[in-house]
Structure 1
Amino acid sequence: MPESCHPLLAPFVPLVAMLGEALGPEYEIILHDLTQEGTKIIASTNERLSGRSKDAPLTEFGRFLMTSPEVDGLDYIANYPAEAQNGRQMRSSVLLIRGEARKLVGLLCINYDTTKAKLLLDAASFLTAVRPLSFKGAQVERFEAPEDEAAFVAEARRRMGCPLEYLASDERRECIKYLDERGFFKLKGSIDYLAKEMGKSRFTLYADLRAVRKRGGAE
């Protein structure tokens, strides 16, 4: 806690430390008391990002905020560009803390160092850039993954137009024939999975499958 500051600014002092921990090391938090002679930084965290010290002067933009009537109706300004003396590019926001008659008594500044974010953006742009195939008739290459029970059954449900538990016996065998042709029953546990979907016993489905295959063989 500073030795002295404007009473309205005292509650913001612990907030500076909390924001520094919550937002992380890429955020610089600075609290200015504008009622001190020459202004004064009364709390800060991660100030290494801009290289400022406690006795650093107010920025030119800070002095603009103190004197310009253009900002009289504002309580904050968010996400404007800024640059530190060391060249770091910042995305900055400022809370204008006002007292009686809306007189400006302090500034709570949050400056985000965009260096790492821009590196990630550049990397993402490179890693996601593609060149369309120039070969005549070439299409997007698609990699097929093995289908599981759920995918087969979802397709059968769409094909039959209703939940599989509502199928009549002839519809059920038609569905089983379709699934058998697709290779569904080669999957381990397929009968048990389908039995739950159709609300039938494993023995009923085995009987249906034998009948379907027998009829197919006769054809």
Structure 2
Amino acid sequence: MPNSSSQLELLRSVADGIAALFFPNAEVVIHDLSTNKIAYLANNLSKRKPGDDAGLEGVELDGGANVTGPYEKLNWDGKKMRSVSIAARDEQGKPSYLLCINLSTAMFEDARNALDMFLSVTRLQPQPQELFKDDWQEKINTFLHDWLRRENAALGALSREQKRRLVSDLYHQGAFKAKSAADYIANVLSMGRATVYKHLRELKQE
């Protein structure tokens, strides 16, 4: 095991690496448990500084787990942080330093809120029936994905036989009545146009 000085040097490098990897959203703080002071701080998000009181009085780590968390805490600006604390032990197994990684989740929460607002169904209007009553592409898409769910199949992994059956089912649903439907279905199913037209000729002869 490293001595206290080399251990702190190693932890500082780890702290700098984590802070650099998750910049600007991660702060890493090293607490010296022998002095109950902050020994090092990388990417300061909490407005503390080395030498400040660590606030760890009464914390028992001797028999505890080396990793605590993740847990949630509130930063000075009211924004939430998700934190993990890691105990570094000396040669006798006694905790000497506590490395705390504080990840600001504000950016992720803002992104989630933006997505929720953008995708909110309350902002959608009903599809205008007159404008899209002959939208054969959407009708094909709806039938296609209902068919895939029933068959528990993935569009990109359909076998030749599955594609043949799907073309047959689409044909019997009238999907090929639209002028460009055959080309569209061939593209969606990644089939050659000649193969689709071959299946259609066979179906018409039944």
- Corresponding residue of 1:80: 71
* 2:99 is the alignment partner of 1:108: yes
TM-score of the two chains, using structure 2 as the length reference: 0.60
- Corresponding residue of 1:11: 10
Which moved further from structure 2: 105-114 or 118-127?
A: 118-127
- Partner Cα distance (2:90, 2:67) in 1: 14
- 3-state secondary structure, aligned to 2:92: helix
> Identity over aligned residues, as a percent?
17
- Partner Cα distance (1:165, 1:88) in 2: 52
CA deviations on 1:14-54 (whole Å, 9 max, x unpaired) are 1111111212211101122333x453423x2211x101122
* 2:46 is the alignment partner of 1:46: no
Deviation at 1:178, TM superposition (A): 4.9
Matched-pair contact (CA < 8 Å) for 1:95–1:108: yes
- Corresponding residue of 1:57: 53
RMSD of aligned alpha carbons: 4.7
- 3-state secondary structure, aligned to 2:39: strand
Matched-pair contact (CA < 8 Å) for 2:85–2:100: yes
Q: 1:29 to 1:166 in 2, by over 3 A?
A: closer
Q: 1:183 to 1:10 in 2, by over 3 A?
A: same
Deviation at 1:114, TM superposition (A): 2.3
Matched-pair contact (CA < 8 Å) for 1:50–1:84: yes
Q: 1:196 to 1:107 in 2, by over 3 A?
A: same
Gaps of 5+ in 1: 134-140, 168-173
- Corresponding residue of 2:177: 183
User: What number of residue pairs does the alignment pair up?
Assistant: 174
Gaps of 5+ in 2: 125-131, 152-159
CA deviations on 1:71-120 (whole Å, 9 max, x unpaired) are 62211111212233443322111101112332110011100122223323
| Bigger Rg over Cα | 1
* 2:137 is the alignment partner of 1:145: yes
TM-score of the two chains, using structure 1 as the length reference: 0.57
Matched-pair contact (CA < 8 Å) for 1:51–1:86: no
- Partner Cα distance (1:26, 1:177) in 2: 54
- 3-state secondary structure, aligned to 2:114: helix
CA deviations on 1:99-142 (whole Å, 9 max, x unpaired) are 233211001110012222332333344444435x9xxxxxxx99
Deviation at 1:5, TM superposition (A): 4.9
